[in-house]
Amino acid sequence: MELVTGYVMQPIQDVFPLLRSPKKIFITTHHKPDGDAIGSMMALYHYLTKKGHHVTAVSPSEMPDFLAWMPGAALALNYEAQPTESLEGLASADLIICADFNDFNRTKHLEQALADATQPKILIDHHLFPKPVWDYGMSIPEKSSTCEMVYDFINLYGDNSLIDLDIAACLYTGVMTDTGSFKFPITTASVHTMVADLLGRGLDHTRIHEEVYDSWSENRMRFLGYVLIEKMEVFRKYNSALISLSRKDQNLFKSQNGDTEGLVNYPLSISGIRFATLITERSDEVKLSFRSKGNFDVSAFAKNYFDGGGHFNASGGRTKTSFIETIAYFKKILSDIHPQ
Ligand SMILES: [Mn+2]
């Protein structure tokens, strides 16, 4: 995987001396956080609190219901609901840690405040092409998840024994969700070694699977049925499928925050489909999610056509173009590029 940045952060080990005395630490993650975002943020929250630091964890937007069970989730601030407390936490912090994103614009409304902050900034992330704005950190696209990197960070500091069941549950959630329950190619042996370590401590992984995947409302299940019957187009010629959801579609089943989570993956279960796209109409923009199997690089695709990025097999983008025009544009690109 080619990384053309020319930008070098101080290695994460250089942060350790800063953590020898109690510090005020601000941790945040990306807007519309997923399991890896909240998992890595809360694992760091528990670990650093245990080390004697004062930690403020801020999610840029509300966390989805399927993560509300996570240990300490109620201790995290939601920037959209608690902007004043969140910004106070940022202003008073000695250090800033950014987990599971590598461009301030992924935090949406926190972007400017982070850019203006003068404290040392630390990155722990596995997306491609970090912006050159962090002082210290780890940016490793070959890692399965930011949670795996937080686990590495704790071990590097020699604190493996501090991993308790709360930290383990947070870490497991992120690695499980970002690897598609351990099936994506990025699920290396080191992922399984980490999971073995967590299970060895008595982690109840079955409960976590149930909390995350078997906590749907009846409406969400019926919404999925509607989407697959009415809203999925399959383009056999291009080994591709598209799901497009207008705002009206999203309101039909009293859909909740998080109900579109994972929809983009369903078409990839159709034999022969290698590229799946979800186009979602939001109030202020149109959002696109891309997933692929095999050799089609959806990170480059998102970057080239939709102002986005992410990983080789999972990425996203956005546009200010209308929903209808976006669908037409997408179909045109599809016939131009012929994904294999
Ligand atoms: Mn991630």
Among candidate residues 327, 137, 308, 121, the one with its CA nearest the CA of residue 244 = 327
- pLDDT given for residue 4 in this prediction: 46
CA of 30 from ligand 1 middle (Å) equals 10
Residue 278: other Cβ atoms inside 10 A: 25
Identify whether residues 168 and 31 lie together within a single domain.
yes
Contact status, residue 219 vs residue 193, Cβ threshold 8 Å: no
CA of 93 from ligand 1 middle (Å) equals 24
CA distance 76 to 45: 9
CA distance 170 to 42: 6
Number of H helices, E strands in the chain: 11, 13
CA distance 168 to 74: 17
Using alpha carbons only, give the angle 83, 320, 114 rounded to the nearest 5 degrees.
30
Identify whether residues 48 and 138 lie together within a single domain.
yes
Inform me whether the pLDDT recorded for 7 exceeds 60.
yes
CA of 230 from ligand 1 middle (Å) equals 30
Dump pLDDT digits (tens) for 14-60: 999 999 999 999 999 999 999 999 999 999 999 999 999 999 999 99
CA of 9 from ligand 1 middle (Å) equals 20
Of 164, 192, 212, the position where a domain reaches its end is 212
Identify whether residues 148 and 281 lie together within a single domain.
no
- pLDDT given for residue 37 in this prediction: 98
- Helix ranges restricted to H, the chain: 35-50, 83-92, 111-116, 146-156, 165-178, 189-200, 205-213, 218-230, 247-251, 298-306, 323-337
CA of 64 from ligand 1 middle (Å) equals 15
Give me the number of domains the chain comprises: 2
Identify whether residues 201 and 252 lie together within a single domain.
no
Q: What does pLDDT average to over the chain? A: 94
How does 57-79 read in b/e, with b if 16+ C-beta sit within 10 Å? bbbbbebbbbbeebbbbeebbbb
Q: Which residues contact 172 (CB under 8 A, 6 or more apart)?
A: 39, 147, 195, 198, 203, 205, 208
CA of 86 from ligand 1 middle (Å) equals 22
Inform me whether the pLDDT recorded for 6 exceeds 80.
no
CA of 236 from ligand 1 middle (Å) equals 30
Q: Helix or strand or coil: residue 272? A: coil
Identify whether residues 165 and 73 lie together within a single domain.
yes
Rg (CA), the chain: 20
CA of 148 from ligand 1 middle (Å) equals 9
- Helix ranges restricted to H, 62-188: 83-92, 111-116, 146-156, 165-178
- pLDDT given for residue 1 in this prediction: 39
CA of 237 from ligand 1 middle (Å) equals 31
CA distance 318 to 135: 28
- pLDDT given for residue 297 in this prediction: 95
In this structure, are strands 275-281 and 10-11 parallel, antiparallel, or unpaired?
unpaired
Beta strands in 1-108 (DSSP E): 10-11, 24-28, 54-59, 77-78, 95-99
CA of 335 from ligand 1 middle (Å) equals 30
In this structure, are strands 275-281 and 286-292 parallel, antiparallel, or unpaired?
antiparallel
CA of 296 from ligand 1 middle (Å) equals 19
Identify whether residues 144 and 200 lie together within a single domain.
yes
Which residue type occupies 315?
S
User: 100 is in which domain, residue-wise?
Assistant: 10-212
Dump pLDDT digits (tens) for 48-106: 999 999 999 999 999 988 999 999 999 999 999 999 999 999 999 999 999 999 999 99
Query: Rounded to two decimals, what is the model's pTM?
Result: 0.89
Identify whether residues 325 and 189 lie together within a single domain.
no
Identify whether residues 259 and 309 lie together within a single domain.
yes
CA distance 169 to 70: 7
CA of 47 from ligand 1 middle (Å) equals 19
> Would you state the torsion angle of the CA atoms of residues 75, 79, 81, 83, taken in this order, to the nearest 10 degrees?
110
Dump pLDDT digits (tens) for 224-243: 999 999 999 999 999 999 99
Handedness of CA 68, 70, 76, 79 (dihedral sign): negative
CA distance 299 to 310: 5
Of 179, 212, 245, the position where a domain reaches its end is 212
Question: Any idea which residue has 């008595």 for tokens?
Answer: 202
Identify whether residues 167 and 197 lie together within a single domain.
yes
> What's the CATH code of the domain at 153?
3.90.1640.10
Dump pLDDT digits (tens) for 116-135: 999 999 999 999 989 999 99
> What's the CATH code of the domain at 297?
3.10.310.30
Q: Angle at which helices 205-213 and 189-200 pack, to 10 degrees?
A: 110
Identify whether residues 21 and 63 lie together within a single domain.
yes
Inform me whether the pLDDT recorded for 2 exceeds 50.
no
